[in-house]
Amino acid sequence: MLFSGLDFAVAGGTLLHVRGANGSGKTTLLRSLCGLFTPDSGEIRWNGESTRRLGEDYRRDLLYFGHLNGIKADLTGIENLRVAATLDGDRVDESAIWAALARIGLVGFEDLPTRMLSQGQKKRVALARLILSNAPLWVLDEPFTALDVGAVDLLETLIAEHVAHGGIVVLTTHQEVGLTSGQVERLHLGS
Amino acid sequence: MLRVFWCVLLRDLTLALRRRTDVLTTLFFFIIVVSLFPLGVGTERQILQILGPGVVWVAALLASMLALERLFAADYEDGTLEQMVLTAQPLSLLVLAKITAHWLLTGLPLVLIAPLVGMQYHLSDDAILIMMVALLLGTPVLSLIGAIGAALTLGLRGGGILLSLLILPLYIPVLVYGAGAVTASGIDMADTRPYLALLGAFLVAALTFAPLASSAALKISIE
Amino acid sequence: MASNWFRFAAPASFYPLAGRLIPVFWILTGVCLLVGLYWGFFQTPDQLGGSNAQKEYYRIIFIHVPAAWMSMWLYVVMVCWAAIGLVFNTRLSFMMANAVAPTGAIFTFLALWTGAFWGRPSWGTYWDWDPRLTTELILFFMYIGYIALHSAIDDTRRADRAAALLAIVGLVMVPLIFWSVNCPDPNQCAALHQRSNLTQIEGNILFSMLAVTFGFWMYSFATTLMRLRSIILTREADNTWVQELLVKGGRA
């Protein structure tokens, strides 16, 4: 049993910072929020309705960024983004993809399979999904690991923008995230 | 819906084309297994004609099963499978697209190489024709049923061996009627129609239920 | 009334209940098997069948048929528990499915083994690719597959659910496999096994066959519950009630 008796609600325009020691169940909590893990008991609601019942309607509003980058090493950055955008159900907007590539600083590398990129660059490709996404709920599990300084700044800006636009960010990280507007809530797991 | 199906299908085909050897290994495995049998049981024309249909089908079962292990494994390891589960698309549709790509890469080549193999076993033109039709109907069923096993054994140690233990018994109906059709063609071409009709029925049933079962299995395995 | 039933769905309250039931089932097993086998060996005719008479060796039927029946029935039982577990997410149902599987596999093996011994004098061979025999073999593979998949997955939760799904897929496929081996040529069908019809069986034979079946059934209950108790203990080892039980047991 990792955790029990957890009860919280998050409003729009909030950053929820989940903290806790290693093994306290941060990842499990985040995966439960996404529906990747079914808790033994309890319910997760989105806009007042059970996420299980909402199913696809909930997943449309959700973006999950896990320990794995979720990009194919044999596809180029732009191909990866195209597939991700199509699967999210969006019309693929080429100019938006190019804009996202420019923002993560990978223009010029778009023809290379991501396998040829550095660790940090791969992470940036994965981050580009945040730029392209329309989902109001972001669930980010340790997004700052393996990022270089520039990418950390970019991610912080992205999170701040998302919260400022009324989105929700749930994340685990060991560092503080500065916000321009909106509020930060903290949840501490474990004793 | 169709757009998403195409997107995943093309993605998997593109990935396979960038790793061409994976596709060719399955095909060559099939050819080698089929070519070894005459060396083991003797090259007498009549024996080969009797054994041919069964050998080709068993080799097809093994080849399609070997390839199955990779069906979801790569996507599981780099996290793209997780992302697929979390998209707003029905998972069974994405799974169906992946299975289709898998069949195009591993099943279809077997159908196309069948005439060559048939010649090795001195099969008549009729028998070869029926074998191609039977393989065309049967190999997708193998991919569809096998996908359930591939999803269940995702990421396990020794998953390949386990997969064969779980899935090979389920292949029996396809094996029986697939090989039976080719044998029947030696007697009367009209006799083969019930066999092919049954294989077609299996294909429809598998197309309906296997993607649902596979996506349920994937959700269980990913947790 | 309803709350009583749900009380036993919790492993903690089912554990002592199972403990009390096990001796009862063992006694019933002994009684039924003794009656059934005595009746089968001493109160039934020496010859069986009309045109192709089966001599004394037909008495294998008193083990063979009940074992084959139980092997199929237990698979259905296993799938039912597995399905209940998947739908209602109850821990005990998965444990139940898990506990049934080895007993089912044993009966399948018993049916195959006795079948081979019967086949030798009556068909002249230990093994024949008879549809029912072949399907029984496939059923054995299914049980083995279930057990193998379950033990290959370290995470109990995933193991339970994955094996349950496999069992359900198996249940759909077994009739199809039986049908395909029973009728390999859709233009015509044939089988070695005689068509069975319970109403044509002599009363004494039927009685002892049913008695042994009932004995096997009680045996399944007894072994399943014993296995279930050990599964419950292993899985709930961290819970307080198991710790208390251990302390009590140590003192006694």
Using H for helix, E for strand and C for coil, what is the string for chain C?
CHHHHHHCCCHHHHHHHHHHHHHHHHHHHHHHHHHHHHHHHHCCCCCECCCCCECHHHHHHHHHHHHHHHHHHHHHHHHHHHHHHHHHCCHHHHHHHHHHHHHHHHHHHHHHHHHHHHHHHHHCCCCCCCHHHHHHHHHHHHHHHHHHHHHHCCCHHHHHHHHHHHHHHHHHHHHHHHHHHHCCECCECCCCCCCCCHHHCCHHHHHHHHHHHHHHHHHHHHHHHHHHHHHHHHHCCCCHHHHHHHHHHHHC
Cα–Cα nearest to C77, from C207, C216, C197: C216
Residue A140: φ, ψ to 5°: -120, 120
Give per-residue pLDDT as tens, C82-92: 999 888 888 88
Chain C residues with CB under 8 Å of B198 CB are 186
Structural domains of chain A, count:
1
Residue A69 domain-assigned (yes or no): yes
Mutation site, B17, B70, B86, interface A, largest A CB count within 10 A: B86
| Residues from chain C contacting residue B157 (CB–CB below 8 Å) | 152
Chain B residue with minimal CA distance to C164?
A: B217
| CB-CB under 8 Å, C166 with B169 | no
Is B161 an interface residue toward C (CB < 8 Å)?
no
Rounded to two decimals, the pTM is 0.86
Asked if the model's pLDDT at residue C50 lies above 60, the reply is no
The chain B residues in contact with chain A (CB within 8 A) are 3-4, 7-8, 11, 14-15, 18-19, 77-80, 82-90, 94, 222-223
Output the pLDDT for position C5.
53
Give the nearest partner residue to B220 out of C144, C162, C185, using CB atoms: C162
Cβ burial, residue A159 (10 Å; 0-12/13-18/19+): buried
Residues 189 through 228 of chain C touching chain B, CB cutoff 8 Å: none
Whether residue C43 is predicted with pLDDT greater than 80 in this model: the reply is no
Looking at the domain assignment, is residue A101 inside a domain?
yes
| Closest Cβ–Cβ partner in C141, C152, C177 for B162 | C152
CB B177 within 8 A of CB B110: no
With 60 as the cut, is the pLDDT of residue A140 above it?
yes
Which chain B residue has its CA at the smallest distance from A56's CA? B88
Q: Which chains touch C (3 or more CB pairs under 8 A)?
A: B
Domain residue extents for chain C = 23-46+54-190+202-247
Sheet with A62-65, strands from edge to edge, namely A62-65, A137-141, A168-172, A14-19, A183-188
Among C10, C36, C32, smallest CA distance to C222 is for: C32
Which is higher by pLDDT, A58 or C183? A58
Picking from A38, A75, A87, the nearest residue to B84 by CB comes out as A87
Which distant-in-sequence residues (6+ apart) come within 8 Å of B104 by Cβ? Answer: B13
The region of weakest confidence among B78-82, C68-72, C115-119, C238-242 is C238-242
Contacts of A75 in chain B (CB under 8 A): 11, 14-15
CA dist., res. B187 & res. B184, Å (int): 5
All residues of chain C having their beta carbon less than 8 Å from the beta carbon of residue B217 are 162, 165
> CB C158 to CB B148 under 8 A?
no
State the pLDDT at residue C52: 55
Tell me which of A145 and B141 has the higher pLDDT: B141
Q: What's residue A191's pLDDT?
A: 55
Task: Supply the CATH number for residue A134's domain.
Answer: 3.40.50.300
CA dihedral defined by B90, B94, B96, B102, rounded to 10 degrees?
A: -170
Q: Is residue A79 part of a domain?
A: yes
In a domain, residue A11? The reply is no
- Closest Cα in chain C to B195: C186
The band of C48, judged by pLDDT with boundaries at 50, 70 and 90, is low
Is B4 in contact with B92 (CB distance < 8 Å)?
no
Residue A3 lies in a domain: no
Per-residue pLDDT, A103:
84
Lowest mean pLDDT among B20-29, C5-14, C140-149, C208-217: C5-14
For A98, the domain range is: 25-149+160-188
Tens of pLDDT, residue by residue over C198-243, are: 666 677 778 888 888 888 888 988 898 889 888 888 888 777 777 7
pLDDT attached to residue C235: 83
Q: A38 and B84: CB-CB below 8 Å?
A: no
Residue of B nearest to C140 (CA): B169
pLDDT digits (tens, 9 = 90+) for A82-119: 888 888 877 777 888 888 888 888 787 878 888 888 88
Is residue B121 less than 8 Å (CB to CB) from chain C? no
The whole-number pLDDT of residue C3 equals: 47
**Residue at A17 is within a domain:** no
CB contact under 8 A, C180 and B177: yes
Q: Which positions 4-33 of A are in contact with B (Cβ < 8 Å)?
A: 31
A15 within 8 A of A177, measured Cβ to Cβ: yes
Within-domain flag for A133:
yes
Query: What span, in angstroms and rounded, lies between the C-alpha atoms of B109 and B103?
Result: 9
HSE value, Cβ hemisphere, 13 Å, CA-based, for C5: 2
Region class of B79: left (phi > 0), else alpha (psi between -120 and 50), else beta: left
pLDDT of residue A83: 87
**Do residue C142 and residue B216 have CB atoms under 8 angstroms apart?**
no
List all chains that touch chain A, counting a touch as 3 or more CB pairs closer than 8 Å.
B
Q: How many CB atoms lie within 10 A of CB A5?
A: 5
Distance from first CA to last CA of chain B, Å, rounded?
26
Closest CA relative to residue A8, chosen from A35, A24, A27, A32: A32
Contact C186 B177 (CB under 8 A): yes
What gap in Å lies between CA B196 and CA B216, rounded to an integer?
30
Among B76, B167, B170, the residue to mutate for chain C (most C Cβ within 10 A): B170
Q: What is the mean pLDDT of chain C?
A: 81
CA distance A78 to chain B (A): 12
Which residue, among A62, A74, A163, A69, has the nearest Cα to A114 in the 3D structure?
A: A74
CB contact under 8 A, A87 and B18: no
Does residue A166 lie within any of the structural domains? yes
pLDDT at C252 over 80: no
| pLDDT for position C2 | 44
Q: Do A87 and B223 touch (CB under 8 A)?
A: no
In whole angstroms, what separates CA C109 from the centre of its chain? 10
Cα distance between residue A57 and residue A78, in whole Å:
27
Tell me, yes or no, if C173 comes closer than 8 A to chain B by beta carbon.
yes
